[in-house]
Structure 1
Amino acid sequence: MLSTIRFVARHPVLRVYALLLFVSACAGGAMHPYMALVAIDTLNMSGQGFALTMFVSTLTSLVFGVTIGIVSDFAGNRRRMMAILMALGVAGAGLIWLVQSAWMLALSMIVILPFANIAPLVFAGTRMEADEMAPDEAASVNSIIRTTMSAAWVIIPVAVAFVLQTGGFGVMNVWLVTALLFAVCLGLVLLFLPKTARAGTAQGGLAVYFAALKELAHPGIFLRLAAVSLIVAGEWLNGYLQTLVIKTTLGGSLSDAGFMASGVALMEIPFMLAWAAGLRRLGAVNTILAGAALYASFLVLMGSATEVWQVHALIPLAGAGAAALLSVPLSYFQDLFPGRPGLGTSLSPIEGFIGTGAAAAVFAIGTHVTTYQGTAFIGAGVMVASALLLIAIERCVPLPDKSMAD
C-alpha cells in the first residue's frame, strides 16, 4: 500500500488528478447540502419545482456522464476538456450567485452545472496512467485517488457552515464559494496538469460512440451493472433512513445525526486505503461482496438499535462497508473493458442513477408497510439478494466478445 501511495505522490499527472478530485469534491460539498434551502427558503421556488429541477438535472448528469466517459477514450486533449468543464462550473455557480433568482438556479442546475464534473475524466485518466500495472494494482491506484473525495466531504461542509455562521454571511454565498473552488480547479488544470498527459488512442466518431453504447447494453455488462447498482442502493437508502432513525425513532438530535454522518465519512478514508491494499488479494468482485456483507450487517444492527449510542457504535462497521462500495465498483467497471477505461467509467453514472432510483423505491415501499427501522431490514435483504445475484452472474453470464470493440 505504501508503495502505491508513493507511486501516486511522485507521479506528476496522478498527483494533480488527486488534487483536482479533492478540490472539485469540495465544490460539490459546498453547494449540495444547501441546494434545497437556497431554492425553497431563499429564492421562493416551490417544493414541486425544486424536485422537478433536481430530477431533470439528474437526467442531464446521467447523459453527460456516460458521454464524457466514452469520449475520453478517444479525446485528443483531455487537459482542454477538463479546463472547459471547470470553466462551466465557474460560470454556473457564479451566475446563481450574481442573479439570485429561481429561474437562474433551475437553468444552471439543468444546463450548466451537470457539465462541471471532471470525475469521469480523472478516473479514466488515472487508469490510463496506471495501464502498465496489473489490474488489481491499477485498481488500488484508483481507490487511493477516490479517497480524496471522501476527505473533501469530511472537511468542506463543516468548514462552509462555520464560515457562514460566524461571519454572518447569507446562504447564497455558498455559490460564490463553489465558483471560487471551480476556479481553483481551472487554475490547477491550466498551470499544473502537464500538456504531455496521455490522451486516448482509440479512433473516435459517431459510429464508435454508438457502438460503445451498444456494448454497454450487452446482457453480460448490463446484468453486472444492475447487480452492483442494487448493492450500492443500500448505501443510498441509508442516506434517507439514518437521520430519521436517529432523530424520529430513537429520539436523538440533529447533532447526533451530524456526528454519525461525519464519523462515517471520516472512517471511510482509512478503510478505502485498506481495501485498496486488499484488492490485490481479494479482487474487485470479492471486495464488493465483502462491502455488501458489512453494510447489510450495519443496516440490520441499525434496524435493531434501541438507543442512539448503539447506532454511533456502528460507525466503524458502516465506514468499512461504505468504503468498499464507494471506491471499488469503479475499478470493477473499468476491468470489464480492458484498454478502454473511459467506457468502463461511463457505467458509474448509470450505477448512481439505478442505485438512487432503487433506494427511493425501497424507501417508499418500506415506509408504507413498516417503520424506518423495518425499512433498514428490507434494505439489508436487497443488498444480500443482489450480492447473490452478482455471484450467479459472474459464474453464468459471459462478458461480450472483445472483438465487438474492433
Structure 2
Amino acid sequence: MPVLSETPAQPRSRPFLPLLSVSLLTGVGYALAGPFLSLFLIKEVKAGPVAVGAFLLVSALVSMVVSTLVGRFSDSRAIRRALLVVAGVSGGLAWVLFAVLRDYWLLLVVAVTVWAMASAQIPQMYAYARQLLERSGSARAPLAMSGLRTTMSIAWVGGPPLGALLLAGGGFTGLFAVSAAVYAVAVVVILVWLPELGPSAPPSPEVARQSGLRREVVLAAAAFVLLQCATSVGVTAMPLFVTESLGGTTRDAGLVLGLCAALEIPLMLGFGALAMRYNLRVLVLSGGAVALAYYSIMLFTQATWQVMAAQVLHAVVISAVMGLGISYFQDLAPDRPGYASTLFTNTYKTSAMLVGPLLGLAQHLGYRTAYGMGLTMSVLGLALLLAARPQSATPAA
C-alpha cells in the first residue's frame, strides 16, 4: 500500500507574486467602498446615528468571531486556499447585495453572514503567505510579509479618492458593483495561480509545549490594541486638530495624512529588510519607543509645518508596529499561522472600535488631547510589550 506524504510537495515562491496581487485587489476592493459605508446607511438607507453605530459595531464584533473561528479551523486542515476563495466570493456577494438592498435589517443580515465571512480573507492571506514561505524554505519571511502589508497601504492611498469619483459618477450602486468586481478578480487569481498548501506542518516538541493562549500572547495582543488605537485616534483627529486647533486648512490636513502614507510604504519594506538581520521583537519595541517621542512632540506643536515634520516619526511607528506586527504574532504561534494572523488583525479591529468614544472625549476636551491619549496608550502598550518577553520552554521531564 503506497504511503502518502503528510505534506504536499514544497512549492516554490512563485505563487507569492499572485498573492501580492490578491492582497492589492482585496485592499482596493474594500478601500473603494468601505469608507463610504456610513454615508450609505445615512443617505440611502435613512438610518439614524444610533442605528449606524449599532450596524458598524455588531458587524465588527461578528466579523471578529467568525474570522477567529475560521483561523482556528484552518490550521489543522488543507483548506486555506479554499477559504481564500470562499472569503473572496463572500466579499463580492456582500457588495452586490449592498448595491441592491436598501432595507436596514436585510443589510444587517448580510453584514453578519457573508460580510462576516469575507473578514477572514486578510488573516487567511497572511497565514497562506507564512505557510508558503516556510514550505519554500525562504529566510525572507519578515520582508515578504512587510511587502504584503505594504500593498494594503498602497490600496488605501488610491482607493478612497477613486471611490469618491465612482460615487459621484455612478452612485452607491455603481460604487458597490465595482468593489464586487474587484473581489471577483481576486477570486479568479486565487483559483488560477495559488496552489493548496496542505495543513500546517506539525509543531516541534518545543513549540508544541508552548502552544495555547500563553501569557506573552495575551500581553502582546493587549499591547497592540493600545498602540494601534493610539495611531487610529491620532489619524482620525488629525484633520480636526490641524483646522480647529492650529488654524490650518483642509488642504494642510490632507497633505499631512498623505505625507505619512507616502513615507509608510518605503519604511515598511525597510523594516522588513532589517527584520532579516535584527531581532523582530526589538524592532517592534523600537517602534513603540518612537511612538512616545511622536505623541510628546504632537502635544507641543504650534504650526502645521511642525506636524508635517513629525510625520516622519509617525510613519516609523506605523511601519515598525503594524508592518512587522503580523510577523511578530506569527512567531509567537509558529505552529498556527491562521490563529496568529487572525489574532493580529483582530487587535486592529478592536482598537478601531475604541476610536469613536475617545474621539468624542477629545472633542469635548480639545483635539490636542487626542495625542495625550495616544501618549498614554503608547506608554501602556510599550510596557505590556516589554512584559510580553517570550518565556523559554521548560524541558520535558
Tell me whether the two structures share a fold, i.e. TM-score over 0.5. yes
Displaced runs of 4+ in structure 1, greater than 4 A?
A: 132-136, 357-368, 399-403
SS class of match (1:352): helix
Counterpart of 1:390 in structure 2 is: 385
Counterpart of 1:192 in structure 2 is: 193
Say which structure is richer in helix.
1
Q: 1:24 to 1:339 in 2, by over 3 A?
A: same
SS class of match (1:170): helix
> What RMSD over aligned residues (CA atoms) do the two structures have, in Å?
2.7
Per-residue CA deviations over 1:278-297 (Å, capped at 9, x if unaligned) read 11233221111221222332
Counterpart of 2:343 in structure 1 is: 347
Per-residue CA deviations over 1:57-82 (Å, capped at 9, x if unaligned) read 11111112212222221232322221
Contact 2:78 2:197 in 1 (8 A): no
When structure 1 is superposed on structure 2, of 79-88 and 17-26 the one drifting more is 79-88
Per-residue CA deviations over 1:9-30 (Å, capped at 9, x if unaligned) read x832211111101100001101
SS class of match (2:382): helix
Q: 1:349 to 1:201 in 2, by over 3 A?
A: closer
Say whether residues 1:249 and 2:249 are aligned partners.
no
Q: 1:359 to 1:97 in 2, by over 3 A?
A: closer
| TM-score normalised by structure 2 residue count | 0.86
Equivalent in 118, 127, 132 of residue 130 of structure 2: 127
Q: Which amino acid aligns with 1:70?
A: R
| Superposed displacement of residue 176, structure 1 | 1.1
Q: 2: CA distance between counterparts of 1:37 and 1:307?
A: 32
Q: 2: CA distance between counterparts of 1:390 and 1:362?
A: 22
Q: Which amino acid aligns with 1:24?
A: T
Counterpart of 1:31 in structure 2 is: 33
Counterpart of 1:5 in structure 2 is: none
Q: 2: CA distance between counterparts of 1:315 and 1:279?
A: 22
| Superposed displacement of residue 152, structure 1 | 0.8
Per-residue CA deviations over 1:293-350 (Å, capped at 9, x if unaligned) read 2233222222222222322232322222111121111111111122321222121133
Identity of aligned residues (%): 25
1:145-160, aligned counterparts within 5 Å? Answer: 145-160=148-163
Contact 1:234 1:380 in 2 (8 A): yes
Q: 2: CA distance between counterparts of 1:325 and 1:360?
A: 22
1:1-150, aligned counterparts within 5 Å? Answer: 11-117=13-119, 118-131=121-134, 137-150=140-153
Equivalent in 241, 259, 264 of residue 263 of structure 1: 259
Counterpart of 1:206 in structure 2 is: none
Q: 1: CA distance between counterparts of 2:43 and 2:307?
A: 31
Q: Which amino acid aligns with 1:345?
A: S
Q: 1:13 to 1:401 in 2, by over 3 A?
A: farther
Instruction: Note the residue ranges of structure 2 that are not aligned, 5 or more in a row.
Output: 1-11, 203-207
Instruction: Note the residue ranges of structure 1 that are not aligned, 5 or more in a row.
Output: 1-9, 204-210
Q: Which amino acid aligns with 2:68?
A: V
Counterpart of 1:6 in structure 2 is: none
Equivalent in 195, 212, 217 of residue 215 of structure 1: 212
Q: 2: CA distance between counterparts of 1:199 and 1:247?
A: 53
Q: 1:238 to 1:283 in 2, by over 3 A?
A: same
SS class of match (1:346): helix
When structure 1 is superposed on structure 2, of 51-60 and 253-262 the one drifting more is 253-262
Equivalent in 371, 374, 382 of residue 379 of structure 1: 374
Contact 1:127 1:341 in 2 (8 A): yes
Contact 1:231 1:382 in 2 (8 A): yes
Q: 1: CA distance between counterparts of 2:144 and 2:391?
A: 27
1:218-367, aligned counterparts within 5 Å? Answer: 218-357=214-353, 359-360=355-356, 362-363=358-359
Counterpart of 2:8 in structure 1 is: none
Q: 1: CA distance between counterparts of 2:88 and 2:143?
A: 27
Report the count of equivalent residues.
Answer: 378
Q: 1:75 to 1:257 in 2, by over 3 A?
A: farther
SS class of match (2:219): helix
Q: 2: CA distance between counterparts of 1:266 and 1:351?
A: 24
Per-residue CA deviations over 1:4-53 (Å, capped at 9, x if unaligned) read xxxxxx83221111110110000110112111111102221111111001
| Superposed displacement of residue 400, structure 1 | 7.5
Counterpart of 1:207 in structure 2 is: none
Counterpart of 1:181 in structure 2 is: 182
| Superposed displacement of residue 132, structure 1 | 5.8
Contact 1:92 1:108 in 2 (8 A): yes
Q: 1:220 to 1:124 in 2, by over 3 A?
A: same
Contact 2:13 2:133 in 1 (8 A): no
Q: Which amino acid aligns with 2:384?
A: L
SS class of match (1:339): coil
Contact 1:93 1:108 in 2 (8 A): no
Q: 1:134 to 1:388 in 2, by over 3 A?
A: farther
Contact 2:27 2:156 in 1 (8 A): yes
| Superposed displacement of residue 151, structure 1 | 0.9
Q: 1: CA distance between counterparts of 2:218 and 2:393?
A: 11
Contact 2:80 2:124 in 1 (8 A): yes
SS class of match (1:156): helix
